[in-house]
Amino acid sequence: MLLKNIFITHTIIISFFYLTSSILWGEARQRFAGKSKFQEFFIGILLSFLTIVLINFPIITDHGTNIQIRALGMEIAAIFFGNITLVTMFFFDIIAFYFIKGLNYVYVIDSLLLLIVLFLGFYMNYQKWDEKKRILILTTIIILYRCIGFYLIDKWMLKPIGDIVLGRLLQTIGFWILMFVPALFLSYFIAYKTRNTEVKLKKMENIANVDSLTGLYNRRYFEKQLLNGCSKSFESSIPMTLLMIDVDHFKKYNDLYGHPKGDECLRKVATNLQLETTSESGIVARYGGEEFSILLPKSDLNDALKIANRLCKNIKKLKIEHEQSEKKLVTLSIGVASLIAETEQDYLKLVKQADQALYKSKHNGRDQVSY
């Protein structure tokens, strides 16, 4: 019976955390972007559900003693999550304990333990303790509290059936520790593995989205962001602006100075474009060859023209020699287009307008901005 109950409890814990790991620790948390309070509240409800399930699957020892891991969900909340999750769990668990077991000494002691974990969680969040330190402190306090609580309930608050001997007390405490510590580390292990997997996937995604030469985003990623930006513009009626940028006479530069120098030139241009648009929340990409593009999701045409003119001036300030250019320096031609999307496909219209503006800059003598 004991082994069966231990197996059932750990199976419940493993199943719960694997089924909910993406919500608790993984990529799914980002779907609540801008709604972090609701996210933390929802996680608190999930962990309370785990606590309620564990109450209904207690470990029964040979002496008929119930060992329930009621504090597990609350400790996990204190280790991994914020104050809203802690408060949500505290109130849900208090209510659940009352309806499941009623108002008795066990309820009072369990509720007091949850209150202690709640305040410890607040303090640890305020002090920004790391997870390992939280586990060490909370586990020690919870185990000591539960051991003392068991002793007080069994010996003083309730009339015991027969005398309690030290061996039985230690055995019951041992069973409780045997369940609680592995259950806690199971949750920590699953959290660690989930987040590690997410990090690896993110790195792979970044590799797939980044141009290896310049470190900017590549065209595939940029076109995805264009589509997203167009959808947001359509929904919010906020303008989206696009800069199409070409390094003037770059083929001649490559022919004269060689491809290694050409690569170095592109990297310098890319770095400058990135630095200039960071404060504007722009998305900078290498669109292909010597062509770059910048998406400014919330800028209008006037703002974009100012940015584009600064970019032209900054590249000339780099004084990258180019004997085959009229200015004897590397310069940029830039086309700017801006619109408020009327359909979710208007990004194609935006690209076409920016391309036409770029052609206008090149046709009119290069080293200039057109719209």
* Encoded tokens for 288: 């292909």
Q: What is the predicted pLDDT for the residue at 294?
A: 93
Element (DSSP H or E) covering residue 224: helix 219-236
- Of 115, 172, 117, the closest CA to residue 142 belongs to 117
Report the 10 Å Cβ neighbour count for 132.
10
CA-CA distance, 18 to 20, in Å (whole number)? Answer: 6
Element (DSSP H or E) covering residue 285: strand 283-288
Residue appearing with tokens 């659940």: 96
**Full set of structural domains in the chain with CATH:** 2-209 (1.10.1760), 219-370 (3.30.70.270)
Which residues contact residue 351 at a Cβ distance below 8 angstroms, ignoring those fewer than 6 apart? 226, 242, 244, 337
Q: What is the predicted pLDDT for the residue at 342?
A: 87
Measure Cα distances from 271 to 5, 20, 22, 369 in Å: 61, 41, 35, 20
The answer to whether 239 touches 299, Cβ cutoff 8 Å, is yes
CA-CA distance, 59 to 74, in Å (whole number)? Answer: 19
Q: What is the predicted pLDDT for the residue at 29?
A: 60
Question: Residue 162, by phi and psi: left (phi above 0), alpha (psi -120 to 50) or beta?
Answer: left
Q: What is the predicted pLDDT for the residue at 321?
A: 92
CA-CA distance, 331 to 300, in Å (whole number)? Answer: 24
Mean pLDDT per 10-residue segment, the chain (371 residues): 76 84 71 63 87 78 67 88 90 87 81 92 90 87 79 54 64 74 83 79 78 89 89 86 94 91 93 81 88 88 91 92 90 93 87 93 92 90
* Encoded tokens for 179: 């369940």
Q: What is the predicted pLDDT for the residue at 367?
A: 92
Q: What is the predicted pLDDT for the residue at 207?
A: 79
Phi, psi of 242 (to 5 degrees): -125, 135
* Encoded tokens for 183: 């259950």
CA-CA-CA-CA torsion sign (181, 184, 190, 196): negative
pTM, whole model, 2 decimals?
0.56
Helix (H) and strand (E) counts for the chain? 12, 7
Q: What is the predicted pLDDT for the residue at 90?
A: 92
